[in-house]
Chains A and B, each alone.
Chain A
Amino acid sequence: MIASLHPSLLFFVGAALLWLLPLIGRRILILVVPAAAFLVITQLDSGTFGAYQMFGFDLNLLRVDRLSKAFGYVFTINAFACFLFALHLKGRYEHTAALAYIGAALGAVFAGDLISLYLFWEVMAITSTFLVLARRTERAYGAAFRYVMVHIFGGLCLLAGILLQVNATGSVAFEGFSLHGMPTYLILIGFLVNAAAPPMNAWLSDAYPEATVTGGVIMTAYTTKTAVYTLIRGFAGWEILMVVGCTMAIYGIIWAILENDMRRILAYSIMNQVGFMICGIGIGTAMALNGAVAHAFAHIIYKALLWMSAGAVLYMVGKSKCTDLGGLYKTMPLTMIFGTIGALAISSFPFLSGYTTKPMIIEAGVHEGFFWVWLILEIASAGVFLHAGIKFPYFVFFAKDNGLRPGEPPRHMLVAMAFLAFVCIFLGVYPQPLYDILPFGAVDFHAYTFEHTLNQFQLLMFSALAFFLLLPLLKRTETISIDTDWVYRKGGRLFVTACDRFFNGLNDFGDRVFVQQLPAALTRFFSDPARSIQQHGARLLAEATGDEQPLAKRQTEIEHRTKHLAYPIGASVFLAVVFLAVMSLLFFL
């Protein structure tokens, strides 16, 4: 039974049970669910289970192999830490959304076919929106709305792709796609929207920083990493992903450097790190894919740690802008230490988890002889240290003292951070357990050669030197940076304004001409056509001859004549003959 129990089921049942239990029961439940799910995943046998039928297809809810298990492990470990961090919450609302969201992410990872994947994919998008809405601010409502709209767009691309794929191949199997064409491109776009690849990247840095303290921590792990999983499963070795990945790695750095909000800095560093993974998927060799999985694993842990330290600051201080923060090491030393461990881990500082995973991807690129990939990823490695490794802890915990003296966050938050910090150090010092669960063959990678470690230290320390020498250029300003969400935030409004101007202008013009002026003119004309024609003719004649003297006299004459119907007989007869001639001509023609 336990060898084929779906781990998502625990989360969904947990989400329902929350509404029946008192506070203490809920607190136990949210810790027990991820722990139990972790145990269940360790016990799962390889194979496919949970068969059901829909639309005449044989579908499977549970596909267990080393790849889905690796993501399952880290999803549940991280869920445990996140719920420990969120233990202080008394309401049911956020925990329900979080449990359902994580359950759906696990469901997507373990889904055995495209249709099951799609179902969980959409549940994930909707449940995560509630973690943003739970902040209950005007800005959060706006961000949540944009977030869900972008994900619905991505979901629809995915759905269209899946339908075309099923139509073209007759199969709902979710394996590596080899066919390049409309169906797979649409599926790829659907995945890349969730991976926050440009130009559909702005939802991440828009919505995550507006989420609640704990919601932000939870969201960082699942949406983008589920996308990484699906890309590994479906698009390993697609070369375009190398370009996408390198772009993301650099893009994330530059925008993070411009940013002032600490959680937005961390949001952009997610994009940067996911860029490394996607680049690895694009390289597509066993080592690169192993590197992508390992890096996703390590990344989820240290990124959650970073968001927790930022969340702890936000929870205690209520501020998240670097210009308002600073000097917090004085009263939050433990949070500072944990945050710095996360910051060094993301920078792939030796003896921390980033160092034993990220270089795998770069080395795999070197093995394949991709010079540009190596160059860009090394530049990005230096840049990570710049924006996440130093900038985040420096401006939040050091820099200018803004007089904030908040004190440490509640103990359960510190314990959660300590747990993740321990995992970061553990995986950095002893990565073998992680290497052992990697799905694509044995790992032939040694991070700790003297030369490699020395090179890495040089790279990072001189990046730090550049940071401190150019500190005046990095001064925080009270600004936001426009990103591709400009298109639908400002561009959308511009579009509406432009449409308003153009179409309503057209409408006004039509109204003026066709409803008011033209009928009025016609009414005037047809009220007495004979007089109108004659007067017009007289006016034309006068203009043509230039002799305007008799015009007024003639006008009154015409007026008088039509009013009293006093036309000369001769003229009437002449007109009658003319009209008869015209009619007979028309008749004979």
Chain B
Amino acid sequence: MDTEKNNKKPEVWNWFDHPQNIRRLKIGFYIVLVLLVLPDLFMHKHTLFSSVEAWPGFYAFFGFVACVVIILVSKLLGFALKKPEDYYDR
């Protein structure tokens, strides 16, 4: 598992092949995640429809759950929709 985030320009071209770099990226990524949620604890947030939105980390939670749901739904749909590549040629 690797992330290209924050590393638009690899210094060496096979930078992502080194496991310790991937580990650094991962740690950096998790630190960023924590830093993003942290301010929520100290600031007053506006809400649009429901007070739930003011909970710390609401958008983080929302994004995560939305993506998990999307992935699971498409995975399930995939069982019905995915066909071999020559499906239309047969």
Name the A residues within 8 Å of B70 (CB-CB).
253-254, 257, 379, 382-383, 386
**Interface residue A473 (Cβ < 8 Å from any Cβ of B):** yes
Residue of B nearest to A375 (CB): B49
Residue of B nearest to A250 (CB): B70
**Interface residue A302 (Cβ < 8 Å from any Cβ of B):** no
Known: A451-B43, A454-B36. A459 touches B85 (CB 8 A): no
User: Are B10 and A333 neighbours in the complex by a CB distance under 8 Å?
Assistant: yes
Pick the contact of B36 from A258, A461, A482 — CB < 8 Å? Answer: A461
User: Are B75 and A473 neighbours in the complex by a CB distance under 8 Å?
Assistant: yes
**Interface residue A480 (Cβ < 8 Å from any Cβ of B):** yes
Pick the contact of B82 from A462, A468, A471, A481 — CB < 8 Å? Answer: A481
**Interface residue A366 (Cβ < 8 Å from any Cβ of B):** yes
Which B14-54 residues have a C-beta within 8 angstroms of A? 14, 16-17, 29, 32-33, 36-37, 39-40, 43, 45-46, 48-49
The distance in angstroms between the C-alpha atoms of A130 and B61, with both chains bound, is 47
Pick the contact of A482 from B48, B62, B83 — CB < 8 Å? Answer: B83
Name the B residues within 8 Å of A478 (CB-CB).
84-85
Pick the contact of A471 from B1, B4, B36, B45 — CB < 8 Å? Answer: B1
User: Are B81 and A481 neighbours in the complex by a CB distance under 8 Å?
Assistant: yes
A11 smallest CB distance to B (angstroms): 35
Main secondary structure of the interface of B (DSSP, over half): helix
Pick the contact of A462 from B17, B33, B40 — CB < 8 Å? Answer: B33
Known: A458-B59, A481-B81. A474 touches B71 (CB 8 A): yes
Known: A379-B70, A398-B2, A461-B36. A258 touches B59 (CB 8 A): no
Name the A residues within 8 Å of B66 (CB-CB).
378-379, 382-383, 463
A405 smallest CB distance to B (angstroms): 10
CB-CB contacts of A467-491 with B at 8 A, as 1s and 0s?
1101101100111111100000110
CB-CB contacts of A414-456 with B at 8 A, as 1s and 0s?
0000000000000000000000000000000000000100111
Name the A residues within 8 Å of B68 (CB-CB).
466, 470
User: Are B67 and A366 neighbours in the complex by a CB distance under 8 Å?
Assistant: no
**Interface residue A337 (Cβ < 8 Å from any Cβ of B):** yes
In this complex, which of B45, B64, B84 has the most chain A Cβ atoms within 10 angstroms of its Cβ? Answer: B64
Instruction: Sort chain A's interface into a size bin.
Output: 35 or more
A141 smallest CB distance to B (angstroms): 13
Which A385-405 residues have a C-beta within 8 angstroms of B? 385-386, 393-394, 397-398, 401
Name the B residues within 8 Å of A457 (CB-CB).
36
Name the A residues within 8 Å of B37 (CB-CB).
458
Pick the contact of A464 from B3, B75, B83, B87 — CB < 8 Å? Answer: B3
User: Are B67 and A382 neighbours in the complex by a CB distance under 8 Å?
Assistant: yes
Known: A458-B59, A474-B71. A465 touches B33 (CB 8 A): yes
The distance in angstroms between the C-alpha atoms of A464 and B5, with both chains bound, is 9
User: Are B85 and A466 neighbours in the complex by a CB distance under 8 Å?
Assistant: no
Pick the contact of B71 from A257, A398, A479, A489 — CB < 8 Å? Answer: A257
Residue of B nearest to A405 (CB): B13
User: Are A473 and B85 neighbours in the complex by a CB distance under 8 Å?
Assistant: no
The distance in angstroms between the C-alpha atoms of A329 and B73, with both chains bound, is 31
The distance in angstroms between the C-alpha atoms of A14 and B59, with both chains bound, is 50
**Interface residue A531 (Cβ < 8 Å from any Cβ of B):** no
Name the B residues within 8 Å of A509 (CB-CB).
none
Known: A374-B49, A460-B63, A471-B1. A477 touches B36 (CB 8 A): no
In this complex, which of B59, B61, B87 has the most chain A Cβ atoms within 10 angstroms of its Cβ? Answer: B59
User: Are A340 and B13 neighbours in the complex by a CB distance under 8 Å?
Assistant: no
Residue of A nearest to B57 (CB): A458
Name the A residues within 8 Å of B60 (CB-CB).
458-459, 461-462
User: Are A462 and B81 neighbours in the complex by a CB distance under 8 Å?
Assistant: no
The distance in angstroms between the C-alpha atoms of A385 and B40, with both chains bound, is 22
B31 smallest CB distance to A (angstroms): 11
User: Are B4 and A258 neighbours in the complex by a CB distance under 8 Å?
Assistant: no
A250 smallest CB distance to B (angstroms): 8
Name the A residues within 8 Å of B74 (CB-CB).
253-255, 257-258
Which of A's residues lie within 8 Å of B, judged by CB?
253-255, 257-258, 329-331, 333, 337, 340-341, 366, 371, 374, 378-379, 382-383, 385-386, 393-394, 397-398, 401, 451, 454-468, 470-471, 473-474, 477-483, 489-490
Known contacts A253-B74, A465-B33; 5 additional CB pairs below 8 A are A383-B70, A459-B62, A462-B67, A479-B85, A481-B78
**Sample of 23 A–B contacts (CB below 8 Å):** A254-B73, A331-B13, A366-B48, A366-B49, A379-B66, A379-B69, A382-B63, A385-B67, A398-B16, A401-B17, A454-B40, A454-B59, A458-B40, A459-B63, A461-B33, A462-B59, A462-B60, A463-B66, A464-B5, A470-B67, A471-B1, A481-B78, A481-B82
